[in-house]
Structure 1
Amino acid sequence: MADKENHTNGVADEDKPARFGSYNVHSSAAKVEGKIYKDYLHLDGLLSNVDMMSAVNLKPVHDEHLFIIIHQTYELWFKQIIWEMDSVRRTLNVDVVGERSMLTILQRMNRVALIWKICVEQFAVLETMTPLDFMEFRGFLAPGSGFQSLQFRIIENKLGQKMENRVNQHTIIQSFQDPDSQSQLQVSLTEPSLCDLVIRWLERTPGLEEDGFNFPQRYAAAVRRYLADEEAVLQTEEDPEQRKSAEAEWKKQVETFDVLVNERAYNVERQLNKRRMTYKAFMGALMVSCYSSQERFHLPHQFLTILMDIDSLMTKWRYNHVMLAQRMLGSKTGTGGSSGYLYLRSTISDRYKVFLDLFNISSFIIPRHYIPPLTDHMSSQLSAHETLRLSVSDAK
């Protein structure tokens, strides 16, 4: 049924005053006066904030204007990303996340992913500038550097980037001189990150309970059957070289799966910082992936996919930044004092992926016919009927 909030009491939209942002708040008695377009968006101040340093010599460098606009645009997009992520983190920071809330989370995280896609593509505009064009105004930039983007650092922290995984962990806070920036950065480090909240949420995945469906136990049994069948097949190989290769691959699979069917081995890897998620959270993510066709897991599976998309897009953004720095600077030192290209190149490794564990789930996917069948009770829990019941309950 369509919402009623857009009704205009019989006045057609085209007959109303051309005001941008005019609306009523809760009742006809409380009215907020609208503003014209440029005042609503504060365009006079926004568009006048292009202060070209090269203009000091009364010879403004043409491409400095582009350089400023591009980076200001990034900061505006960063502001929107923070706005969306804060909303999602608040929604996730509860004991029970209902189906209705999941739809909101998906919508907003998908928006974040699309914004990052725009940010990645935006480098193409900056690449229309040549190294010679850049050199005309580069001297005015020092000691400024993209390293000093407070909002980008806050995004990394709110997403869940660990300080110990950073190449420059000892200089992050010191690179911001004013107390307010340092305070904002510290707060973003102490609040629960999106990754922390996703881990807690995955730990509550239905079907992990030891006294219930107990997916970890059923999965371990399924893996043993799968590996036994694979070993039986390789024993039938008559070609010595092919058999040797198949045995090596089988042993590698045994070692890989041992980390997951053995919780103690998994926790050892987690202590070594090879894994971020708790064992229970990872098993929850694996269960969602194995049974993604079940109605109640549709939205969680989409959510996990979007988280990987965002990680991938941020890696692409960093990579484009690396390529741009190499194109414009070669091996020159960055304006902020960093090693430039060499430093940026170090930020596109897996250590900067917050949701690396989700990418690694594919290592533990077994053929569909080995996946443990759902019990009648578990099938009922993950059915559309159960989802509808939860949604109605959430709305009360």
Structure 2
Amino acid sequence: MGQDAPAFRMTYGGYLQLDSLLELQSGPEGYAPAPSNDELHFIVVHQTFELWFKQILRELKEARDIMISERVQEASVPVIVHHLERVSEIFRLLANQWKVMETLTPQDFLAFRDRLGTSSGFESWQMREMEVLLGLENEQRMGGMDPLAHMEKLAGEGKVSPSALADFHATHSLPSLNDALMSWLGRTPIHGSSPDEDDDAEVVLDYVNKHLESMSEHGEAVIKHMISIGHGDEATIRPRIEAGVHGARSFLIGEEGVNRSRAGLLFIESYRDLPLLSWPRKLIDCFVELEESMLLFRTHHARMVERMIGRRMGTGGSSGVDYLDATTKYRIFVDLWAVRTMLVKRDALPNVEHAEFYGFSSS
């Protein structure tokens, strides 16, 4: 006789719990009649979004947990980069997923739209938690909406589970990724100087002032060049150039002195070819890429909805496309975008002091 079959063998369907998963597309309990082909498509697309949101939250929380440490080990930076790169790729995938939704014609959607009731994508608590985790401030939101208060309201109405509310509270109570990033940038060694050194404030101020001088000198060269080729006169060009330098000064130096986080960001972006700064500038690039991928996701969403329902009110009572368009103006990592307007070409910058500090290290 042959050997008995094993009492238990893991199968593809068992590992993925497919029986349970594939039963979740029939709509809420008591939902009748069964979804049409078009409505099934609508449900599958949005459930897929939420599954990916679950993965995004996991990746971002692991990145945050590393970054909120008082000292982020150099070996941990590639790990953070890995998490952020994965999230960016997911958002690129999700942006393209809206194209699948566009296979629904407006009439196809209107045939079952009323069955959605007052449900709205705005009620996606995973998306709201994601925004809080990244660091979107309430005053940046359309109408200054407080997502925590909104979550508590939904939970009080039985529309959000206690576990989802607890997760939201936990995320809200911790520093955001933007907060952690700014703290990390504030510890950037500038000309070899760290925040715990006695003369650090002087070193950083000197660095900032010399960069502003470089901007001014470069601006003078631009003015001269533009006039020489007949692209304007000094009276119109100079105010624009000087406004850029003034804006950079305000960005870097506030009422309380130099903003060290912004100075560190500028230093990394200006001297990104230094070996020690290769992973830090890669990390900065990943945050910019992440926000860019989110903006593309939001933009594709807005255009899909406009194509589907025009400018009519959203199912949840929102302004529909107008609200979605407003979200495309959200910026979380504001400083990472702003610093790009004050960079000057490498050969116009002062040489790095203590350049040996930024070389490759070996044990």
Amino acid at match of 1:211: D
Match of 1:353 in 2: 331
User: Which amino acid in the other structure matches residue 243 of structure 2?
Assistant: K
- The unaligned stretches of length 5 or more in structure 2 are 1-5
Residue 76 of structure 1 aligns with an amino acid whose one-letter code is: L
Query: 2:249 aligned with 1:264, yes or no?
Result: no
Give the SS at the match of 1:306. Answer: helix
Separation (CA, whole Å) in 1 of partners of 2:293 and 2:215 = 35
Determine which of 327, 343, 354 is the counterpart of 1:365.
343
1:245 aligns with 2:236: yes
Alpha-carbon separation, structure 1, partners of 2:234 and 2:65: 54
Does residue 1:146 correspond to 2:121, yes or no? yes
Aligned to 1:310: 290
Cα displacement string for residues 148-174 of structure 1 (whole angstroms, at most 9, x for unaligned residues): 111111111111111222115157333
Residue aligned with 1:214, SS: helix
Paired residues, number: 341
1:111 equivalent in alignment to 2:86: yes
Which residue in the other structure is 1:27 paired with?
none
- Equivalent-residue separation in structure 2 for 1:321 and 1:106 (angstroms): 26
Could you tell me how far 1:175 is from its partner in structure 2? 4.2
Whole-Å Cα distance in 1 between the matches of residues 341 and 221 of structure 2?
A: 21
C-alpha displacement at 1:36, in angstroms?
1.7
1:123 aligned to 2:76?
no
CA deviations 1:69-128 (Å, max 9, x no partner) are 111111110011111111111111212212211111111111111111111111111111
Q: What secondary structure sits across from 1:332 in the alignment?
A: coil
CA contact (8 A) 2:295 2:328 kept: yes
The answer to whether structure 1 residue 102 and structure 2 residue 77 are counterparts is yes
Distance 1:56 1:221 in 2: 68
Q: Distance in 2 between matches of 1:234 and 1:264?
A: 30
Equivalent residues of 2:218, 2:348 under 8 A apart: no
Q: In 2, Cα distance between the equivalents of 1:159 and 1:47?
A: 32
Q: Offset of 1:55 from its aligned partner?
A: 9.7
The alignment yields a C-alpha RMSD, in angstroms, of 2.7
Specify every segment of 5 or more residues in structure 1 that has no aligned partner in the other structure, as ranges: 1-18, 20-32, 268-277, 390-396
1:83 aligns with 2:61: no
TM-score, length-scaled by structure 1: 0.78
| Aligned twin of 2:357 | 381
Task: Say whether the 8 Å CA contact 1:54–1:140 is kept in structure 2.
Answer: no
The one-letter code of the counterpart of 1:197 is: A
Q: Which whole-Å CA distance do the structure 2 matches of 1:304 and 1:280 have between them?
A: 16
Q: How far, CA to CA, are the matches of 1:153 and 1:59 in structure 2?
A: 30
1:227 aligns with 2:216: yes
Name the SS for the 1:300 alignment partner: helix
Distance 1:316 1:37 in 2: 34
Report whether the alignment pairs 1:323 with 2:303.
Answer: yes
Q: CA deviation at 1:219?
A: 3.3
**Sequence identity of aligned pairs in percent?**
27
TM, length-normalised to structure 2: 0.85
Cα distance in structure 2, aligned partners of 1:235 and 1:88 = 47
Higher RCO, 1 or 2 (CA under 8 Å, sep at least 6)? 2
Measure the CA separation in 2 of the matches of 1:289 and 1:197.
18
AA aligned opposite 1:80: Q
Q: Deviations over 1:268-290 (max 9, x none)?
A: xxxxxxxxxx9211111111111
- C-alpha separation between the residues in 2 aligned to 1:357 and 1:371? 21
Q: How does 1:47-196 map to 2 (within 5 A)?
A: 47-52=22-27, 57-58=32-33, 60-168=35-143, 169-170=145-146, 172-173=150-151, 174-176=153-155, 177-178=157-158, 180=162, 181-196=164-179
